Structure 1
Amino acid sequence: MRRRALSALVVALAAAVLSRADAAPLPRLASINVCTDQLLMTLADPEQILGLSPYARDEARSFLANKAAAFPMLSGEAEDVLMLKPDIVVTGRYTKRATRELLKQQGQRVIEFDTPRTLDEVKALIRTMGDLVGHPDRATAANARIDTAIATARKAASDKAFRVLPLERRGWVSGGDSLMTSLLSTVGLVNAASALGIKLGGFASLEAVVSLRPDYLLISEDGDFAEDEGRAFVLHPALERFYPPSKRITIPERLTVCGGPMLADALDHLSAELSRVEH
């Protein structure tokens, strides 16, 4: 019996070794977009990543800026990408067109990722990148984490359908057809920008914001120091009067500027902020 069991184990181990030997090598990739940078760093093995975009280490834009320091930083132009000879170049649909076309003309396989406007589209992008790098299991885990964060945020929102206005520098607001709207509506909140007639995004006047009277402002940075005129808009006395810290929800921009696994962190942050302002 022991001999039979040992023989079966040897056969199984040999099959596993042969399977790994026969498997195609995982692709080597370069990214020239800050959002594909973060998908790549989350889902690929480090040795698969040949280079990242110029903004990969930008702490304001990249959730994984510290992790990006371990990889070469590219210029964003075609020349240094071609020198690396990656199997695949990943980028955004709206990354510089001339660069994308030149890479294609030189025989590079270029995969362009759309800008998602819903959480479902985000999860689809994650699955696509997981399949591309050969790690669909990691994509499944990343999406499961987003689903868990959604459930937690729904409980924090308390089914009160608060009207929230995402407000940035100089009065920029994320509109009704934006990813921010999807994030808010998925957990039971309402993007008040829809009442301004703004679809994707646009500027709103101070008067329009005050007249709109949302329940909360959603901003990307707290604090009371205005380093320039853009920041001064959010700290205007009229807004501070109606929206003190107890009426302001803060989610750092690096958590929402891209559609990717970091949205789980954005949702967790939202949950914590809702608990804070409601108590």
Structure 2
Amino acid sequence: MTRIINLVGVVFACAVLVIGCITPARAAELPRIASMNVCTDQLLLTLADPEQILGLSRYSRDRFQSWAADDARRYRILSGGAEDIMVMRPDVVVASLFDKRATREFLKKKGLHVVEFDVPRSLDEVKDQIRQMGQITRHPDRADAGIARLDAAIGRVRAAVAQKRVRVLPVSRRGWVSGSESLLSSLLTQAGLSNAAGELGVGFGGFAPLETIISTKPDFLVVSDAGDRAEDDGSAFLLHPALQRFYPPSKRIVIPDRLTVCGGVMLADALDVLIAELRRVER
């Protein structure tokens, strides 16, 4: 019995030693990554190991734009220029095509591997970007799990909306309407709702007069804030007396911008918020 116990102890010690040897080696093989954009920040935070993240964009801690703002506080904030990225010498730089082109091109000329992400306009494109970041971080299993989470949320919201014909109109500051080609519209369509912006001939997005919004007569407005105070002239649009008369809180579906500005697994949270909001306005 003593020999068996000793043998088990030796095997356990060897296993610990092997694991201890493998883990640092594997960590050294994983790419070190810097992010230049608030949307690539969130993909990276979702899929990478903390040790892989060298720095995030200037807006990564903005709670209005980033679903992962709290997690971002653990990491270095980049200036938005090329200098601090050059000093860190990351294996990969992830950026948006909307980031400053001169900076991206400069980094490429200096030999850095820059991967550029376009703005997704559909949930299929979002899934592609999750897979792409999963490949970059070398964690494709996490990407698959994120996509599965998104698909599950789509299934839940479709079940909640089934057999209902609901027309909505996404409206934000100064009367900006998210059109039929926008990511938000794709989210609503996947949920089984109809975006009335298509009836206005709005593609990706555009401004609509107050009279047009009211005369379109959507069942609900989709807004990002339920507040009753305007911080500036842009947000005051949604508090116009005429708009409040026809679309009081019971006619407004609230989905925070931080859940829909970018593509990623946070869209699953956006869909769950949508379910809760539909239940609220239907009471």
Superposed CA deviations along residues 24-72 of structure 1, whole A, max 9, x for unmatched, are 6100000000000000011101110000000001111011111111100
Q: What is the rounded CA distance, in whole Å, between the counterparts of 2:18 and 2:52 in structure 1? A: 25
Cα deviation, residue 148, structure 1: 1.0
Which position in structure 2 is the counterpart of 1:72?
A: 76
> Within 5 Å, which residues of 2 pair with 1:49-128?
49-128=53-132
Per-residue deviation, 1:19: 6.8
Which residue is 2:4 aligned to?
none
Contact in 2 for aligned 1:159/1:188 (Cα 8 Å): no
Deviation, 1:158, is 3.0
Alignment of 1:66-215 (within 5 A): 66-215=70-219
Percent sequence identity is: 58
Partner of 1:31: 35
Read off the aligned partner of 2:91 and give its amino acid letter: D
The one-letter code sitting in structure 1 at the alignment partner of 2:133 is M
TM-score w.r.t. length of structure 1: 0.93
User: Deviations for 1:168-196, whole angstroms, at most 9, x for unmatched residues?
Assistant: 01000101111111101111101111111
Deviation at 1:137, TM superposition (A): 1.0
Deviates more, 1:149-158 or 1:260-269: 149-158
Could you say what secondary structure the match of 2:29 adopts? Answer: coil
Deviations 1:214-273 (A, max 9, x none): 010000000211222111111111111111111100000000000111101111100100
User: 2: CA distance between counterparts of 1:73 and 1:15?
Assistant: 36
Deviation at 1:20, TM superposition (A): 5.9
CA distance in 2, matches of 1:9, 1:33: 45
Which AA in structure 1 matches 2:33?
Answer: L
Between 1:5-14 and 1:41-50, the stretch displaced more is: 5-14
**Structure 1: segments with no counterpart, 5+ residues:** none
Q: Which amino acid aligns with 2:209?
A: S
Residue in structure 2 matching 1:248, options 252, 259, 268: 252
Count of residues paired in the alignment:
279
Instruction: Output one character per residue of 1:124-158: Cα deviation in whole Å (capped at 9) or x when no partner.
Output: 10011011101111111111111111111112223
Partner of residue 44, structure 1: 48
- 1:202 match: secondary structure: strand
Unaligned residue ranges in structure 2 (runs of 5+): 1-7
Q: Which amino acid aligns with 2:177?
A: V
Q: How far apart are residue 94 of structure 1 and its match? A: 1.7
Q: Distance in 2 between matches of 1:47 and 1:20?
A: 13
Q: Quick one: which amino acid aligns to residue 268 of structure 2? A: A
Q: What TM-score, normalized to structure 2?
A: 0.91
The match for 1:274 is 278
1:106, CA displacement in angstroms? 0.7
Q: Deviations over 1:73-116 (max 9, x none)?
A: 00111111111110000001221100100000111000001111
Secondary structure, counterpart of 2:54 in structure 1: strand
Query: In structure 1, what is the Cα distance between the partners aligned to 2:233 and 2:24?
Result: 60
Counterpart CA distance in 1 for 2:171 and 2:20 is: 55
Q: 1:14 to 1:59 in 2, by over 3 A?
A: closer
Q: Report how far residue 161 of structure 1 moved.
A: 2.7
